[in-house]
Amino acid sequence: MIDKQEALPDGEPLVSGAVDLRDPALFINRELSMLEFNYRVLEEALDPQTPLLERVKFLAIFANNLDEFFMIRVSGLREQVAAGVIETPADGLTPAQQLVAIRKRLLPMLETQDRCFHEDVLPQLEAHDIFIHRYADLSDERKSALGYYFDSEVFPVLTPLAVDPGRPFPHISNLSLNLAVLLRDELGQERFARLKVPPALPRLIPIHDIAQRYQGKPEPRSKRFVFLEEVIAANLDKLFPGMTLLDNYPFRVTRNADMEIEEDEASDLLETIEAGVRQRRFGRVVRLEVEADMPPAVLDLLKGYLNIERSDIYQGWGPLGMSQLFELADVDMPELKFVPFVPQRPAMLNQYDDIFSILRNQDVLLHHPYDSFMPVVEFIRRAAYDPKVLAIKVTLYRVGSNSPIVNALLEAQENGKQVAVLVELKARFDEENNIVWARKLEAQGVHVVYGLVGLKTHCKVALVVRREDDGLRRYVHFSTGNYNATTARIYTDMGYLTSREDLGIDASEIFNRLTGYAPAAAYRELLVAPEYLRNEIDYLIRREIQHAVEGRGGHLIMKMNALVDPKLIRRLYEASIAGVKVDLLVRSICCLRPGLPGISDNVRVTSIVGRFLEHSRIYYFANGGEPEVFMGSADLMPRNLDRRVETVFPVQDPALRARMADEILAIQLADNVKARELQQDGTYKRLVPGDETAINSQLWFMEQARITP
């Protein structure tokens, strides 16, 4: 048999054939694959079958994803170019080549985004009495109402900043929308000023409400908006009295927001993270967004002030910062949105009043958002008040605001339970929120730790220790997603509640590793990164290869957010060469090329993009007729395998394991409505039902949740 502890060789084939699996042509670039995922998001906005205000939301998600892509990925490539890095990823593209390829692929996407908004979505909105007006096209009466609004609520917030020899060009904060204002003074000299559009005010001003508020004249049932920057531009004379206004142009800046934390040198990680969050505003500019009509002279002026290259500038039709279209998507018109779905409570949880009694008899599988997240909250809250519970331990990565999980932990502390919480302060863009929760928990006496030096804690585990008649018993919740009640309604994730002894002991080992000194912890059932997960996954793939080579067939199904790790991609190529059927459900980034003759022609890669964000990680191994299913927090990426604390757990209940394979994975693999299939060239082809029965997997799961008793 294959040695489970054998070190992972770097591309050494386990099967016959002289194929160089290190050939860069076998790999898709990570950044370009990420852009292709975002294009699939944009496709949802392009799809006329998507409800209209949901199309607006997908436009906002597309723009928001691009903001983060530039803040983290593009900024990282810029830093590599500046540092003279020549090392390449598995696909062989240098950082400079990647930047060129990114811009080339992104420009047509942005044109598609603009056309979608202006030529498709806006006319459709108007057909439903939702209007976004240009200020210049408004009636004098509406302009008058907006004038009142500007004077009372906008003008006091504005701070015009002149630029001249005595006043240098001001700092432009990350993701801020600004006006470049051109003026002429009383001596005839041209002047330049910058005016920031206040982020604290609504970007879309509801004219229908303003008219009612300031003129007492109710508007008809239609909803009418105008962009805040246009109202400000129309009133610039109030900000620059005595000056002649020549023109103004909006612009938006994106900065490097990838914090570098030297943990080994940090005496207090919490304070270090706080300082890093503040420094995000001052990172290097990596993108300047302007409208297409900005004159070259003004563009050159900004280019010089911001110290950027021409390739950092993106021009479009506007509006800039479409991520703020979430405001428009929130308009109260239910008929233009998805039909509301209420997550269901699994019937098995109604067998007893006490969830611990249920878990003593059976494991519970939760498939969010189709199954409600409330049983997870109840698990913690019940433990907080149960007199037999001695301790509660939880890892928190992204918990959101007003978290019912955190509130339950605070209640547990008040009730005398021993509560220990791992709060990961390095969860990108959630650092501030996590700092608030960490301080609140500490203030109430909860044992709070911030993770391990050099590693990000990404695992999702909750452990309850309870004294029962036959001794102490551990109850555990493992999850593929965060303890966040809000995202649990829009992310697809798996949760697993159990009282199995081996898994409970492993959960204790995880927390001992996180809160104390246990670097050599051994685990009975869990696959844990960074110590063991990489080799365990490799072993399971190699085992499947052996089954295929020895005539027992082989089948792998892997569902994840991203497949990047080159070593495991090479192992999957080896599996395909050996005849193993490989089905990959990869939501976003996939660096493996499927369908290559003789290499990956047994590999199929699909991506589902729809109403919910696919977020669960599931790993299925046919194992010669004795299938195994694992779930967890880890994608197959170097960062998850080597630089994070992750847990991947087995589904030990045979009935639940069969449900995972025969229902949850099978339905997703059969999706022919929201699934796209990855092609050899890195593009995706949207599947269509044709003569087959149309299967929208997310809709199927919603319908099943409603009818299952």
Q: Is 80 exceeded by the pLDDT of residue 13?
A: no
Separate counts of helices (H) and strands (E) for the chain:
22, 27
Fold designation for 139-336 = polyphosphate kinase like (3.30.1840)
For residue 154, the model assigns a pLDDT of 97
For residue 351, the model assigns a pLDDT of 77
pLDDT band at 17 (very low <50, low <70, confident <90, very high): low
Quickly tell me which residue has 């082989």 as its tokens. Answer: 554
Contact 603, 576 (CB under 8 A): yes
The CATH-assigned architecture of domain 347-525 is 2-Layer Sandwich (3.30)
pLDDT band at 520 (very low <50, low <70, confident <90, very high): low
For residue 516, the model assigns a pLDDT of 79
Burial profile 364-380: b = 16 or more Cβ within 10 angstroms, e = fewer: bbbbbbbbbbbbbbbbb
458 catalytic? Reply is yes
Contact 616, 493 (CB under 8 A): yes
Q: Where are the alpha helices (DSSP H) in 187-319?
A: 207-215, 228-234, 269-279, 296-306
Burial profile 216-244: b = 16 or more Cβ within 10 angstroms, e = fewer: eeebeeebbbbbbbbbbbbbbeebbeebe
Strand ordering across the sheet containing 190-196: 161-163, 190-196, 177-184, 244-255, 285-291, 313-316
DSSP 416-435: T-EEEEEE-TTSTT-HHHHH
Mean of pLDDT over the chain: 90
For residue 423, the model assigns a pLDDT of 84
Residue type, 189: Q
Contact 556, 580 (CB under 8 A): yes
Cα–Cα distance for residue pair 339/51, rounded to 1 Å: 9
Paired tokens of 138: 């408004």
pLDDT band at 217 (very low <50, low <70, confident <90, very high): low
Quickly tell me which residue has 């010089």 as its tokens. Answer: 304
The better pLDDT of the pair 185, 52 is held by 52
Task: Tell me how far the alpha carbon of residue 253 is from its chain's centroid.
Answer: 21
**pTM of the predicted model as reported, rounded to 2 decimal places:** 0.92
For residue 267, the model assigns a pLDDT of 45
pLDDT in tens, 316-332: 998 999 999 999 999 99
Residue 190, SS3?
strand
Paired tokens of 478: 């493992």
pLDDT in tens, 543-584: 999 999 999 999 999 999 999 999 999 999 999 999 999 999
CATH 3.30.1840.10 location in the chain = 139-336
Q: Where are the alpha helices (DSSP H) in 150-260?
A: 207-215, 228-234
Quickly tell me which residue has 């029962």 as its tokens. Answer: 468
The CATH-assigned architecture of domain 528-707 is 2-Layer Sandwich (3.30)
Contact 95, 81 (CB under 8 A): yes
For residue 446, the model assigns a pLDDT of 83
Contact 478, 647 (CB under 8 A): yes
Cα–Cα distance for residue pair 497/462, rounded to 1 Å: 9
Q: Looking at residue 84, what DSSP letter applies?
A: T
- Count how many Cα atoms sit within 13 Å of the Cα of residue 419 in the half-sphere of its side chain: 29
For residue 708, the model assigns a pLDDT of 62
Residue 654 burial (CB count, 10 A): 9
Cα–Cα distance for residue pair 3/546, rounded to 1 Å: 12
DSSP 475-504: EEEEESS-S-TTGGGTEEEEEEEE--HHHH
Quickly tell me which residue has 């703020």 as its tokens. Answer: 324
Q: Which of 10-14, 160-164, 578-582, 677-681 has the lowest mean pLDDT?
A: 10-14
CATH 3.30.870.10 location in the chain = 347-525, 528-707
pLDDT band at 1 (very low <50, low <70, confident <90, very high): very low
Contact 557, 586 (CB under 8 A): no
For residue 2, the model assigns a pLDDT of 54
For residue 447, the model assigns a pLDDT of 85
For residue 220, the model assigns a pLDDT of 62
CB neighbour list of residue 270: distance below 8 Å, 6 or more residues apart: 425, 435, 438, 439, 450
Tell which residue, 259, 247, 251, has the closest CA to residue 305. 251
* Catalytic residue chosen out of the listed positions 128, 367, 447, 458: 458
Cα–Cα distance for residue pair 401/684, rounded to 1 Å: 36
pLDDT in tens, 678-687: 999 999 999 9
pLDDT in tens, 607-633: 999 999 999 999 999 999 999 999 999
Burial profile 676-696: b = 16 or more Cβ within 10 angstroms, e = fewer: bbbeeebebeebeeeeeeebb
Residue type, 172: I
For the CA atoms of 173, 639, 376, 54, what is the dihedral angle to 10 degrees? 50
pLDDT in tens, 434-460: 677 678 788 888 888 887 778 888 999
pLDDT in tens, 592-614: 999 999 999 999 999 999 999 99
Contact 265, 272 (CB under 8 A): no
Cα–Cα distance for residue pair 433/284, rounded to 1 Å: 24
CB neighbour list of residue 88: distance below 8 Å, 6 or more residues apart: 24, 94
pLDDT band at 264 (very low <50, low <70, confident <90, very high): very low
Cα–Cα distance for residue pair 55/384, rounded to 1 Å: 42
The C-alpha angle 635, 641, 646, rounded to 5 degrees, equals 75
Instruction: State how far the alpha carbon of 319 is from the alpha carbons of 68, 115, 117, 493, 523, in Å.
Output: 18, 12, 9, 34, 53
The residues facing 526 across adjacent strands are none
Q: Which of 58-67, 191-200, 327-336, 347-356 has the lowest mean pLDDT?
A: 347-356
Paired tokens of 633: 């927090």
Q: What Rg do the C-alpha atoms of the chain give, in angstroms? A: 28
Paired tokens of 246: 């020549």
For residue 273, the model assigns a pLDDT of 45
Residue 533, SS3?
helix
Q: Taking residues 179-207, what's their average pLDDT?
A: 93
Quickly tell me which residue has 């304070």 as its tokens. Answer: 271
pLDDT in tens, 283-312: 799 999 999 999 999 999 999 999 999 999
Contact 572, 592 (CB under 8 A): yes
pLDDT in tens, 104-149: 999 999 999 999 999 999 999 999 999 999 999 999 999 999 999 9
Paired tokens of 127: 């057909």
pLDDT band at 430 (very low <50, low <70, confident <90, very high): low
Residue type, 605: V
Sign, CA torsion 614/678/569/39: negative
